[in-house]
A = this chain, B = another copy of it.
Amino acid sequence: MATKDQLLLYLKEERENWVSGELLSNKLGVSRAAIWKHIRKLKEEDYVIDSSPKKGYLLRDVSDLLLPGEIQDGLNTGVFGKGDIVYLPETDSTNTRAKDMAARGAPEGTLIVAEKQTGGRGRRGRSWFSPPSDGIYASLILRPIMSPGEAPRITLMTSVAVAEALLSLTQLKVRIRWPNDILVNGKKIAGILTEISTEMDGVDYIVVGLGLNVNTPSESFPEEISGGATSILMETGKQFPRAPLVRAYLEWYEKYYEMFKKDGFGSIMRRWKELADIVGQQVTVSVIDKKYIGEVVDVDGDGVLILKDNNRDTHRIFSGDVTLMRS
């Protein structure tokens, strides 16, 4: 472990207590000047550290940047996020970075996070609003052994993992909107963009992108999306630390991914249906060039929405934008 990381670990153990420079210097076997240099570096990374010529150093707060060390601190997974986490202060799109890395052989479980995206992407060629340090913009690389036909299930599974992570750490009433938007009080709090590279004989890799609005204030959303978007801050009135959310996401994700590989998709699909609560609802579904209105009869094991329209014709809809017609 690098000296800076050892120093941070020690400050975390002694959190809220003063630790003298001399003690740190002895513990880590480096000069007091070196300790001071590492402290300065940690402060640059947004760690809140008090320093006093007499008392030494005191860690008041960890960084709220999504630093790999903060994500991995207490991370309870086998593979996901355990290897390299690529941390980018700014990038075009974490999914684009992840696809590049996957094409060059990056292993399953590699995570790419960015504080800010300049070209964040959503479904169907849309953009994803990605203001600096307010949200989680993260892409995960998967290398499942599966046929291309099974790959859409990964998208449904991802929405379940995101919902579980939010449910386990917040009091929010989280719902899934088919196929994979995450809503709170009818507004979108998170979106998922799954990109698949496949041959006919099997999937090469899947990149799963997550955009989650954490500390985004209402007024910072662009006019056009402000009516339909929300964040944890907006729903609770409180800032929420991001690293624990990423950790929970990785832990739930790995849990469901292992379940998928071992027992198939049945119980995950059941959980998806509980969280989506769409079967039996009256909906409008917009696809590229059509609009369907009717009742949702089912969502099948591949995520295909089965809708019966007012002429009692049945439609199998692969993907689209759905609006509930409650009222």
- Interface residues of chain A, those whose CB is within 8 Å of chain B, are 99, 103, 123-124, 145, 147-149, 151-152, 155, 179-180, 193-202, 204, 288, 302-303, 318-319
Contact = CB atoms under 8 A, between A and B. Distances in A.
A195 B198 contact: yes
Contact of A155 (B196, B200, B302, B303): B200
Contacts of A303: 200
A152 B155 CA distance: 20
A147 B152 CA distance: 11
Nearest to A146: B318
Interface of A is mostly: mixed
A124 B201 CA distance: 6
A319 B147 contact: yes
A193 to B, nearest CB: 7
Oligomer copy total: 2
9 contacts: A147-B319, A148-B196, A149-B149, A180-B200, A193-B199, A194-B200, A196-B198, A200-B319, A202-B319
Contacts of A155: 200
Nearest to A321: B201
Contacts of A99: 103
A151 B152 contact: no
- Of all A-B residue pairs in the complex, the 6 with the closest CB atoms, nearest first, are A201-B319, A147-B318, A155-B200, A124-B201, A196-B198, A152-B200
Contacts of A193: 199
Contacts of A123: 199-201
B195 A197 contact: yes
Contact of A195 (B147, B151, B199, B318): B199
Given A148-B152, A149-B302, 16 more contacts: A99-B103, A123-B201, A124-B201, A124-B202, A152-B200, A179-B200, A180-B200, A195-B197, A195-B198, A195-B204, A196-B196, A196-B197, A198-B198, A200-B319, A201-B319, A202-B319
B199 A199 contact: no
A84 B99 CA distance: 25
